[in-house]
Amino acid sequence: MYCMPFNCEPGNSYSPSSCWDTAHCVNANVNFGSSNAFAQIADYNGNPSSAAFISQFEPSNAKQANNELEMTLVKQSDGKGFGATVINSRAFQYGTVSTVMRSGCTSGGVVSSFIIRNDKVGDEIDFEFVGADKATVQTNYYWHDELDYTKMIKSPVLADTTANYHTYGIQWTPDKIVWSVNGNSFRTVNRADTWDSGSNTFKFPDSESYVSYSIWDGGSGAQGTSEWAGGAIQWGQGPFVMGVKSLTIDCFYKGNETTYKPPSSAGDGDDDKDNDSSADDDSSDDDDEKSSSEKPSSSKSSTSKSSNTAKSTDTNNDDGDAEEEDGGDDVEGDDEEQDLGDDSKILAGTAFEVDSKSSDARGLVASVGSMAAALVAAYMF
């Protein structure tokens, strides 16, 4: 039995070889009208070339239709919404990502997101859309799950983000993060400005992470989350469908792709490793996940929002130029569709599943990796 690297912890598994190797960044142009752009989690075979993105829930509310990836928020029997999350099959540390998409937030309470995140470390860089405001998108970043919502900054005013496709970009380097919309940079965070003298650390996201998309019910969350998202969802204003046309990834580090080699058998704890890989193998994956934020002593870097947390809607921004480059392998093919379902089950790998009726927004969607890892430890290993 094998687990995907973004959910799997070799040290807490049946054996280190229970986890697939982490596939690292390669330049890519992903067209979501293509068959090898997306796979349901139960169908993924561990080969990142077979699917650029993978669903995270079953039943899955993500599918390819109308020449795009469509992610739908549906109403459950308890009145709460159950959405969808899809995640890139390759890890990503520094570079430029650019996506063409529209949000699904046609009612208050609905949240859509485009995120770079490491669930194990808690680093995140994001775009988030809320139904309370269709004319802007919110940006933020987090270091080691320290949730400071006062750092949120909105984009300039845009044409309705639910009805129009815009290009959202993140340029992430060891020195800075730049957010842009339609090629226009509107926010820059410099690593040098994140220095925290109390902890002797740059509180700047720098761990290898995964690009993901999600749609979820913020209106049924904790009071602070619900207020931020725009209150309870008005289901009559649906359907709530987030649409993603394409994604471009330009890696900062070149030539660090992990060569895919399928496991020899599910019961063999001594699977051969690929000696031709140009990146580190599983024995160093934990190092890939670690942050490099601590400052050397010899020199001068998706949880419910609490109701008492201060929020900032407009602060002064540093202008920066985000560079976006085409390159890498194109992802092409035919459309595939999957039926939606109303009951919530999380499938953490391809070999087991656990029923869940919880639909707390961030618990189900933004923290799926850590939940899946917990399920692995509790139910399998």
Q: Which residues are catalytic?
A: 124, 128
What is the rounded CA–CA span in Å between residue 148 and residue 295?
21
Which residues are CB-neighbours of 229 under 8 A, at least 6 positions away?
Answer: 108, 109, 110, 111, 130, 131, 132, 218, 219, 221, 361
- Token pair belonging to 333: 């093919």
Q: How far is CA 337 from CA 65, 194, 308, in A?
A: 6, 44, 42
Euclidean distance between CA atoms 124 and 130, whole angstroms: 18
Tell me how far apart the 2 most distant CA atoms of the chain are, in Å: 60
SS (H, E, C) the chain: CCECCCCCCHHHCCCHHHECCCCCCCCEEEECCCHHHEECHHHCCCCCCCCCEEECEECCCEEEECCEEEEEEEECCCCCEECEEEEECCCECCEEEEEEEECCCCCCCEEEEEEEEECCCCEEEEEEEECCEEEEEEEEEEECCECCHHHCEECCCCCCCCCCCEEEEEEECCCEEEEEECCEEEEEEEHHHHEECCCCEECCCCCCEEEEEEEEECCCCCHHHHHHHCCCCCHHHCCEEEEEEEEEEEECCCCCCCCCCCCCCCCCCCCCCCCCCCCCCHHHHHHHHCCCCECCCCCCCCCCCCCCCCCCCCCCCCCCCCCCCCCCEEECCCCCCCCCCCCCEECCCCCCCEECCCCCHHHHCCCHHHHHHHHHHHHHC
